[in-house]
A and B are shown apart, each in its own frame.
Chain A
């Protein structure tokens, strides 16, 4: 429905522009297209150069389309390029990232939803202080917690492992996801919860049957936010992982650094696209809900 409204709005806007004059419309579109090109240029450079043999890049044709189209750089980046000391390609690290990001996003979103539910519908003495502390957690600079966190992970026996990274991202993620869900649930009518209580539903039944089915938009916002942040994180990945638990971002850095002799730019480009692809995909799949969710929040609250 929101999309329908948006398109009709856009339509109305367009007809108005036509009335004010076709000339201004062309100016606007030309400008928009120019901006579009400007923003797409880096992507173009990456894609084009990841499909060329290295010799073509070295010949100085960064902007040109490939003469001899090749997928070898992609294959190399994926499975055989030198990353650090081993020539494994990015594949194992890509898997590490997936293994890290999926549970971290899922758990932090569910816990955020539960926290938001409790903080708005099952209020208790001191709940605002608890929420305040959670919010405070969002804004502690990453660098400040590096050493205490390393010590914690060591004590918990998960230092240098993927579960350790999941834990770190959970700790940071819950603050944000709680913030999102709390603000969303604040608008959620409390009378519905009370009605369900009288109907005989318990704490978790109300959460599952009444709250969650109405939480789609904010869940999408939360998932996209968490996914992007955790996937793109470099600092925690570099600080808390071992060789066999490094996430994609760290591996990409190692790939670029560890090439001996000639820099294989085409392989680097291919690897960089691989690292960016999942977030891109999440945006494309869930992006329209993202805008919708943000708007729903802003209109109501």
Chain B
């Protein structure tokens, strides 16, 4: 049993089930990120933890206590909203103290808690301002401050950074991460930004269509996606997914990939002969851009670098790297080259594929094929 337990929780609006049976157990001090595209049910799940939405069936428990019928105020949680939701008629200090006041904390204690948190977040000079007089980033801090003063068991964040500009978002991301490392509170954080998910979390739940598609550490999610949705959603640029066929060559399982010009490339699977049982099967091969490189840029620690030649269609220089687009199995595939490699559209060029990082999916079920 964890610190925060979500057991077989579902949510139905009328006849529409927006959250299917979900089981997540969060340990104390964990940073769980719920990530997924718009409408997948992330906010719904978060609001259920907060008590702002009823649980249709199943259970939500914090510290072993069933919370389904406990009012939000008594769950000892704090929430940071996407719009910050600062009370417009109160100044920053009053905003931060409101929760304590509602819980009957005496004035002197409230003031002390507020000034401590204000110091931590470096917003002491803003305490007397109204929310309308703050910049977006300052509002964000105040919203976090308001959550922090309560010293809750669980922090809930609903897309707290999505209203900030790109640079500030990165800064605040780092700040939230630092804050978590310092305070070690349990956090559930909703975002649709997979980079935020990967950088902040200790664990990620990838959601889609009301289902948790995969729950795991950032590394597990990134390296071993459970299905094609997770593979495509996590990572930027996203994982290349293209059709291939399993075959046998010299007693080794290989992937046969049709190239642009009608030829076929053959890449041996790194997993020894685990794929041999799938001989003759059509699969979808998933390889991340950084595992398809120019020859010199290939990972030197990998024992399964294989070459294939293909025609370059587009090159996209991105400063530190150049992304090169080619076609494999009839699909556009992005490779990540070092920036100084000379490569032009139209060239036939040798690509180095790191098969240790390749994963295979069933084209029908879209699920991972072990191997």
Do the two shown chains form a genuine complex with each other? yes
Report which A residues bind B (CB closer than 8 A).
Answer: 189, 191-192, 194-201, 205, 209-210, 213-214
Take A213-B89, A214-B88, A214-B89 as given contacts and tell me if A199 and B99 are in contact as well, using a CB distance cutoff of 8 Å. Answer: yes
Shortest distance in angstroms between A81's beta carbon and chain B's nearest beta carbon? Answer: 49
Q: Within the assembled complex, what's the spacing in Å between the Cα atoms of A189 and B86? A: 10
**A189 near B83: Cβ-Cβ < 8 Å:** yes
| CB within 8 Å of A: which B40-82 residues | 50-52, 71-74, 77-79, 81-82
Take A200-B73, A200-B102, A200-B103 as given contacts and tell me if A195 and B79 are in contact as well, using a CB distance cutoff of 8 Å. Answer: yes
B98 touches A (CB below 8 Å):
yes
Which residues in A have their C-beta under 8 angstroms from that of B52? 194, 197-198
Q: Within the assembled complex, what's the spacing in Å between the Cα atoms of A197 and B75? A: 11
Which residues in A have their C-beta under 8 angstroms from that of B150? 199
B85 touches A (CB below 8 Å):
yes
**B88 near A198: Cβ-Cβ < 8 Å:** no
Shortest distance in angstroms between A89's beta carbon and chain B's nearest beta carbon? Answer: 46
Report which B residues bind A (CB closer than 8 A).
Answer: 50-52, 71-74, 77-79, 81-83, 85, 87-89, 98-99, 102-103, 146, 150
**A205 near B85: Cβ-Cβ < 8 Å:** no
**A198 near B82: Cβ-Cβ < 8 Å:** no
Q: Within the assembled complex, what's the spacing in Å between the Cα atoms of A40 and B79? A: 58
Q: Within the assembled complex, what's the spacing in Å between the Cα atoms of A234 and B85? A: 46
Q: Within the assembled complex, what's the spacing in Å between the Cα atoms of A201 and B103? A: 9
Among A194, A210, A213, the residue within 8 A (CB) of B81 is A194
Which residues in B have their C-beta under 8 angstroms from that of A192? 85, 87-88
**A198 near B98: Cβ-Cβ < 8 Å:** no
Q: Within the assembled complex, what's the spacing in Å between the Cα atoms of A93 and B79? A: 56
Q: Which residue of A lies closest to B87 (CB)?
A: A210
Among A189, A200, A201, A214, the residue within 8 A (CB) of B85 is A189
Q: Within the assembled complex, what's the spacing in Å between the Cα atoms of A189 and B82? A: 12
A-B contact pairs, 26 of them (CB 8 A): A189-B83, A189-B85, A191-B83, A194-B50, A194-B85, A195-B85, A196-B87, A196-B98, A197-B72, A197-B73, A198-B50, A198-B73, A199-B73, A199-B98, A199-B99, A199-B102, A199-B146, A200-B73, A200-B99, A200-B103, A201-B98, A205-B102, A210-B89, A213-B89, A214-B88, A214-B89
Q: A-B pairs with CB below 8 Å: how many? A: 57
Which residues in B have their C-beta under 8 angstroms from that of A194? 50, 52, 72, 79, 81, 85
Question: Chain A interface secondary structure, helix, strand, loop or mixed?
Answer: helix
Q: Within the assembled complex, what's the spacing in Å between the Cα atoms of A99 and B15? A: 52
Q: Within the assembled complex, what's the spacing in Å between the Cα atoms of A192 and B81? A: 9
Which residues in B have their C-beta under 8 angstroms from that of A196? 87, 98
Shortest distance in angstroms between B187's beta carbon and chain A's nearest beta carbon? Answer: 15
Q: Within the assembled complex, what's the spacing in Å between the Cα atoms of A196 and B81? A: 12
Closest 6 CB pairs of A and B: A200-B102, A200-B73, A199-B99, A213-B89, A195-B85, A191-B85
Q: Within the assembled complex, what's the spacing in Å between the Cα atoms of A200 and B99? A: 6
Q: Which residue of B lies closest to A201 (CB)?
A: B102
Shortest distance in angstroms between B87's beta carbon and chain A's nearest beta carbon? Answer: 6
Take A198-B50, A210-B87, A214-B89 as given contacts and tell me if A191 and B81 are in contact as well, using a CB distance cutoff of 8 Å. Answer: yes
Which residues in B have their C-beta under 8 angstroms from that of A214? 88-89
Q: Within the assembled complex, what's the spacing in Å between the Cα atoms of A13 and B87? A: 37
Q: Within the assembled complex, what's the spacing in Å between the Cα atoms of A200 and B78? A: 10
Which residues in B have their C-beta under 8 angstroms from that of A191? 81-83, 85
Q: Within the assembled complex, what's the spacing in Å between the Cα atoms of A191 and B88? A: 12
Q: Within the assembled complex, what's the spacing in Å between the Cα atoms of A191 and B47? A: 11
Q: Within the assembled complex, what's the spacing in Å between the Cα atoms of A209 and B89? A: 9
Which residues in B have their C-beta under 8 angstroms from that of A200? 73-74, 99, 102-103
Q: Within the assembled complex, what's the spacing in Å between the Cα atoms of A201 and B71? A: 11
Q: Which residue of A lies closest to B79 (CB)?
A: A198
Shortest distance in angstroms between B325's beta carbon and chain A's nearest beta carbon? Answer: 42
Shortest distance in angstroms between B237's beta carbon and chain A's nearest beta carbon? Answer: 34
Shortest distance in angstroms between A197's beta carbon and chain B's nearest beta carbon? Answer: 5
Q: Within the assembled complex, what's the spacing in Å between the Cα atoms of A216 and B338? A: 62
Among A189, A194, A209, which residue has the most Cβ atoms of chain B within 10 A?
A194
Which residues in B have their C-beta under 8 angstroms from that of A213? 89
Which residues in A have their C-beta under 8 angstroms from that of B82? 191
Shortest distance in angstroms between B142's beta carbon and chain A's nearest beta carbon? Answer: 12
Among B51, B81, B103, the residue within 8 A (CB) of A195 is B81
* Extra contacts besides A198-B99, A199-B98, A199-B102 (20): CB < 8 Å: A189-B83, A191-B85, A194-B50, A194-B79, A194-B85, A195-B79, A195-B87, A196-B87, A196-B98, A197-B73, A198-B77, A198-B79, A199-B99, A200-B99, A201-B73, A201-B98, A205-B102, A209-B87, A210-B89, A213-B89
Q: Within the assembled complex, what's the spacing in Å between the Cα atoms of A201 and B90? A: 15
Among B78, B83, B89, the residue within 8 A (CB) of A198 is B78
Q: Within the assembled complex, what's the spacing in Å between the Cα atoms of A216 and B99? A: 24
Among B71, B102, B146, which residue has the most Cβ atoms of chain A within 10 A?
B102
Shortest distance in angstroms between A158's beta carbon and chain B's nearest beta carbon? Answer: 39
Which residues in A have their C-beta under 8 angstroms from that of B98? 196, 199, 201, 209
Q: Within the assembled complex, what's the spacing in Å between the Cα atoms of A214 and B88? A: 8
Q: Which residue of A lies closest to B77 (CB)?
A: A198
Shortest distance in angstroms between B188's beta carbon and chain A's nearest beta carbon? Answer: 14
Q: Which residue of B lies closest to A192 (CB)?
A: B85
Q: Within the assembled complex, what's the spacing in Å between the Cα atoms of A198 and B80? A: 10
Which residues in A have their C-beta under 8 angstroms from that of B77? 198
